[in-house]
Amino acid sequence: MRWLTRLLPRIYLVSVLQLLAIAGLTIIVGWLTFGSFRPSDYEQRVQYVVDTLSAYVGSEEKLTRELERAKTQMRMQVTLYAADASVLASNVQPPLVYTPAPPRPRRPPVPFVAPPARPIMSLPLNSAVVPGGYAVVQPPPPPEPPSGPGIWALGSALFAIAVASLLLARSLARPISQLQAAAKRFGSGELDARARLARHDELGELSQAFDEMADRVTQLIRSRQELLADVSHELRTPLARIRVALDLAADGTGDIELQREALSEISEDCAELERLIADVLQAARLDLTGRPAQVVAQRLHVESYDPGSLVHRVAERFRTEHPTRQLELRCSDGLPALKGDVMLLRRALHNLLDNAQKYSTAPAPIVLSAERSGGELTVRVEDQGIGIAAEDLPQVGSPFFRTDRSRNRRTGGIGLGLSLSRKIVEAHGGSLVVESAPDRGTSVTLRLPLASATPQVAARSNAAATVGDELSRGQG
């Protein structure tokens, strides 16, 4: 009986049971219609007709009308006789003649088998109107049971319904089986497994949702695979340079200037490693790929801060780290104080400026502006760099995605900077929008609500405070 646990036989079994129920009801209705026939039913109807006709004897017009009605509507043949056996009226020619039939034993009715046609009956007329008169009546035959063609038609209908039920069951079970097979294949590691059901019902919507989920999971898995490759490359390159620099420094016979350059390279490589490790740790703690902004917001170290001061500090740090790059600062005066995690917001702005200097070259300036726009604080970072291709723009800001896949030293990284910035801004109730075109530069706009406390930003608990401090260390 294990086959009963499958969807197809269960759906089909329900359809068959419905057919059996319909057939059973049909049998019951037929038995009630044909099998429960009682002779007394016709006798009562005939007696009613005879009593009605008796009342109209003497009125030829009314009597003729009632006889015609009995013939057409009630299918009764009637002949009225006087006491001397003369015909008073009749709706059939020749007039009916009463011949008593021998009595027959009563038998219980059989379903779908009607009793034989009723014999001619003789009933007395109303003695007050026609003394000694009587009526000879041929009652209508009882309803005919289903004939051979009718039974064949009923059987054909039931067979057609059974076939239609099977097709319906298959139409429901087959797509579910395809979804199950696609899910198993995807779970076994076939990342290209998709259901791809071309349907417009709920099963089609379920298939589309599964395929979209599989696309997101596939992108996430491949992004993390790329992350491992990128992290390996980004770690190996500076470590190799550090090893060479240390070998030169350890060799006391080398050129002093060359050794100093090697030590400078070590300092630069160590800073690059620190940024790389900080981005990876930050991404792991914020869980960029699956944790909603409301949950991340609970980890913030909320305090009041001056947006103008924040922007100036970020600009000073950028100028210190990149003295050869021109940074234009356009900050409006009188910006209102806000509440948020200053360290993380500073980190978000620093990531945007760092991307701008990576993907643009001097002497093209980088513009950092901050102003009040309606009920929001708008901070914008603009560059005149290589820009972003139209096909890459929808994925910009996704974890581990990089527009420049060459992994050269100038644009090195693992594609987490913009993702971190977006997550931080969304945790503060804001938004981050990227606008770009190839060879025309990129503009990243950060918007934060001016409300003193946004719905997403709540005062942290003692446990969340510890986590927020860990996230903030090393990010300023």
Residues 6 or more apart in contact with residue 223 via CB below 8 angstroms? 398, 399, 400, 401
User: What pLDDT shows up at residue 409?
Assistant: 45
Instruction: Using alpha carbons, select from 106, 100, 116, 96 the residue that is nearest to residue 50.
Output: 96
User: What pLDDT shows up at residue 50?
Assistant: 84
As beta bridge partners, residue 442 has: 436
Mean pLDDT of 373-396: 83
**Structure token digits, residue 143:** 């309803």
User: What pLDDT shows up at residue 444?
Assistant: 93
19 close to 87: Cβ distance less than 8 angstroms: no
Q: Is 456 helix (H, G, I), strand (E, B) or coil?
A: coil
Instruction: Using alpha carbons, select from 340, 370, 341, 338 the residue that is nearest to residue 452.
Output: 338
CB neighbours (10 Å) of residue 397? 20
Side-by-side strand order, sheet with 121-124: 87-90, 77-81, 134-138, 121-124
**CA separation for the pair 172, 7 (Å, rounded):** 9
User: What pLDDT shows up at residue 306?
Assistant: 93
Domains in the chain (CATH in brackets) are: 6-98+108-138 (3.30.450), 293-472 (3.30.565.10)
Instruction: Using alpha carbons, select from 471, 469, 456, 476 the residue that is nearest to residue 298.
Output: 456
Q: What backbone torsions phi and psi does residue 124 show, to the nearest 5 degrees?
A: -75, 145
User: What pLDDT shows up at residue 400?
Assistant: 53
Per residue in 325-384, pLDDT tens? 999 999 998 899 999 989 889 989 998 998 899 888 888 899 999 999 888 999 999 998
Under the banding of pLDDT at 50, 70 and 90, the label for residue 443 is very high
172's enclosing H/E stretch is: helix 148-187
Residue 18 CA neighbour count, 13 Å, CB half: 12
456 close to 296: Cβ distance less than 8 angstroms: no
- Least confident range from 68-72, 110-114, 150-154, 257-261: namely 110-114
442 close to 404: Cβ distance less than 8 angstroms: no
Per residue in 280-329, pLDDT tens? 776 666 654 455 555 555 567 889 999 999 999 999 999 998 898 999 99
User: What pLDDT shows up at residue 316?
Assistant: 94
Strands (E), 42-115: 77-81, 87-90
Per residue in 128-179, pLDDT tens? 888 888 888 887 766 555 555 656 776 777 777 777 777 777 777 788 888 8
Under the banding of pLDDT at 50, 70 and 90, the label for residue 52 is confident
User: What pLDDT shows up at residue 459?
Assistant: 37
**CA separation for the pair 143, 114 (Å, rounded):** 7
Chain centroid offset of residue 108 CA: 60
Chain centroid offset of residue 39 CA: 63
Is the pLDDT score of 261 beyond 80? no
pTM beyond 0.75 = no
